[in-house]
Structure formats: C-alpha cells, structure tokens
Structure 1
C-alpha cells in the first residue's frame, strides 16, 4: 500500500484532477441514463431516491471538508517546522562563529555539510531514495559536530562556548526528527480511498436522481468541475514538496543561510 501511495504521489495533480473530472462527469451521465432506462421499463413505479440522495451528498461534503481541513493543517504545520528549523540553524551557526578561528576551521565545514544535507532533504521532493540519503548524510555530519563539541567541552578555554552550542545542536536534531515525522504523517490512505468512493457514488446518484428530460448538462459540468477542484486542492496540500502549493518560500529561509557561511 505504501509503495502504491508513493507512485500515486509522483503523478501530476492536475492530470489526476482531470481524470477525476472525466470520471465524475461520466458517472453522473450514467446515473441519469440508468434512471431513464428504469423509468421507461417501469413507468408507473417510483424509482426516486427521496432523502437518501441528500444524506449521501451531506456525508460526502462532510468527509471532503474533514479531509481538506486535515491536509491544510498538516501543510501549515510543515511550513512552521521549516521556519523553526531555519531559526535553529541560524542560531547554531552564530554560536559556532563565536569560537576562535582555529576551531572554526574544523567546526564550520561540518556545519556547512549538515546545512547542505538539510537543503538536499527538501530538494529530494518525494523521492524516497534521495530522502533517505539526505537523512543519512545529516546524521553523519551531525554526529561529527557533536563529537567535536564534546571534545571542546573538556577544554577549559572553550568550555563556556561549547556548553552554549549543546542545546542548539540538540534542538537541531530534534527538529530534524519532527520534520521527518511531519512529512510521513500524511492523510491516511483509507480516508482518501473512502473519499473517492463517496465522490464517485454521489456523482452517479446525482445523475440518477434527475427525472428523464430534466438533466442540465451545464449543471453536470459545473458539478464535475467543482468536485475536481476540491480534490485537486486536497492533493496539492498533501504533497507540499511539489506542485503549485508548495513550501519553497519557507525552504528559501534555510537556503539563504548559505550566504552566512
């Protein structure tokens, strides 16, 4: 299921929205056609849905709103985490620059490599292999910085500066873990599948609920467009590393730290 989801997230969201639009419109037409055939065979039989159609549409709207709210909340949380990491990276860099030049020659290259690994982490987009490599590089460079600082703590001349760097390094490690946890904490696949099923069933029943001769193609087209746009926004918010709704502006705060090295 996870591999299928990863492949799904590699597909362009606009293309998926267009596919959903076609499916919604066709299902709406099929529902109307099916109702028309039943009415022709049983002209005296009431085949209307009654309140069932409204109940199903309400359920679909509820799940759609719930999913949209979940994805938008996760998007904002991811954006804020990137800003927090940029602040922590800047704090750690400033504290590293307080050391004497002889120590900075050893400490700053590792810090620069760590910064580059965090930039590569975002640049990997949704490629799992590149993400794992960036995470592994980040752990390697962090461990090197931590070990160097552990030696500096034992030096009376640099102990006070090294002590100040410890909480900054710990915070950097914690924020990296938080950011990765936020990346993988996507909307559960089961909810997305349930939403798509409800959308498709509602599309069919919306067409089925129309009496023969009362179908308005403009309404059906507008219905398909609105639902496709809603699904498109859900997909875009759920994949903030690519597409038009992304986190590039927030990530730029980390990239700009290169100028300070």
Structure 2
C-alpha cells in the first residue's frame, strides 16, 4: 500500500479529483439505475432507505471533516517547522560571522553549503532519490561544521564563540529530524480508503434513494463536484511540496538567507 501511495503522490491532484468526480457521478447514476430496475420488478412495493441514508451521509461528513482537520493541522505544523528552521539558520549564520576572518574563510563556505542542502531538500519535492541526496549532503556539511567547531572549542581564544555556536548547531540537527518526520507523517492510508468507500457508497445510496423519474442531473453533478473538491483540498494539503497549496512562502524565508551570506 505504501508503494501505491508513493506512486499516487506523483499524480496531479487535480487529475485525481477529476477521476473521483467521474466515479462519484457514476455511482450515483448506478444507484438510480438499480432503483429503477427494482421498481419495475416490484411496482407495488414501497422501497425506502429510511434513516439509513441520512446516517451514512452523516458518517461520511464526519470522516471527511476529521480527515480535512488532520491534513490542515499537519500542513500548519510543517509551515511552522520551516519558519523555525529559518530562524535557527539565521542564528547560526550570525554566530559564525563573529569569528575572526581567518576562521570565517573556511567556516562560512561550509555553512553556505549546508544552507544550500536545506534549500535542495525542499526543492526535491516528493522525489525520494532527490530527498535522500539532499539529506545526505545535509549530514555531510553538518558534520564538517561540527568537527571544525569542535577544534575551535579547544582554542582558548575562540572557545567562547565556539561554545555559543554549539546550541545553534544542535538545534539545527534536531530541526532536520523534525522536518523529515513531518514530511513522512501523513494521513493513514486506511483512513483515506475508508473515506473513499464511504463516499462511493453514499453516492450510490443517494441515487438509489430517488424515486424513478425524480433524478435531477444538476443536483447529482453538484453533489459529485462538491465531494471531489473536498477530496482535492485534502490531497493538496497532504502534499504541500507540490500543487497550488504549498509552502513556498515559508521556504522563501530560508532562501532569503542567501542574501545574508558574506
């Protein structure tokens, strides 16, 4: 299921929403068609879903709202994490700039490479290979800065500045872990599958609950459009590295740090 999910992440969300729209509309029509066939075979029998249709629609709406709330919370958490990392990167850069010029000649270029690796991490989108490459470069450049700072701590003249840089570096390393964990954290696949099943079943029963000759194509289309739009928003919020609802504005705070490099 995880492999299927990764493949779906590469598909445009608008295309998936259109596919869901066709399926929802088709299930609604299928329910109405089945109702007509049953009514022809048993014309004297009153066929009604009673409260079952309303209960199922309520359950679908509840799960839809729960899923939307989950992905919107994760989206905001990811955005805040990027802002926090931008602040930490700026703090580390300012502390690196306090060292003598002889040290900055090697420390600042390493820090610049580290910053570029973090920018590349976001630019990788949802491509696993590019993400792993960016993370590997992040670890490599971080270790270089950390080892260099460890040597500076042993120098009595640079020890105070080097000790001030340690907390910033530790927080930067922790932020890398937090951002990667936030990227991986998604709505469980089982919830999405159950949500889709409920939507399709509800679409079928909505059509089945209509009386023969009482189907309104405009209403059915509006029903399918609203549900597919809701699914589209859930997909967009669930993968903010692509699409129209993304984290570009937050990522610009990290990209703009290039201007602060000497």
Q: What is the TM-score when the length of structure 1 is the normalising length? A: 0.99
Q: Does 1:195 align with 2:195?
A: yes
Distance 2:98 2:175 in 1: 23
Write the mapping of 1:103-182 to structure 2, written as runs, cut at 5 A: 103-182=103-182
**Matched residue, 1:40:** 40
Q: How many Å apart are 1:46 and its aligned residue?
A: 2.5
**Matched residue, 1:185:** 185
Distance 2:210 2:141 in 1: 64
**What secondary structure sits across from 2:108 in the alignment?**
helix
Q: Does 1:21 align with 2:26?
A: no
> Which sections of structure 2, spanning at least 5 residues, go unmatched?
none
For each residue in 1:36-92, what CA deviation from the matched residue of structure 2 results, as whole angstroms up to 9, or x when unmatched? Answer: 110110012222111000010000000000000000000000000000000000000
Distance 2:141 2:45 in 1: 75
**What secondary structure sits across from 1:48 in the alignment?**
coil
Distance 2:148 2:164 in 1: 14
* RMSD, aligned CA: 0.6
Distance 2:79 2:106 in 1: 32
> Which sections of structure 1, spanning at least 5 residues, go unmatched?
none
**Matched residue, 1:217:** 217
**What secondary structure sits across from 1:46 in the alignment?**
coil
Distance 2:4 2:144 in 1: 37
**Matched residue, 1:258:** 258
**Matched residue, 2:77:** 77
Write the mapping of 1:215-254 to structure 2, written as runs, cut at 5 A: 215-254=215-254
Q: Which moved more, 1:81-90 or 1:212-221?
A: 212-221
For each residue in 1:7-41, what CA deviation from the matched residue of structure 2 results, as whole angstroms up to 9, or x when unmatched? Answer: 10100001011111111111101100100110110
- Structure 1 stretches of 4+ with a deviation exceeding 3 A read none
Q: How many Å apart are 1:100 and its aligned residue?
A: 0.2
Q: How many residues align?
A: 261
**Matched residue, 2:3:** 3
**Matched residue, 1:95:** 95
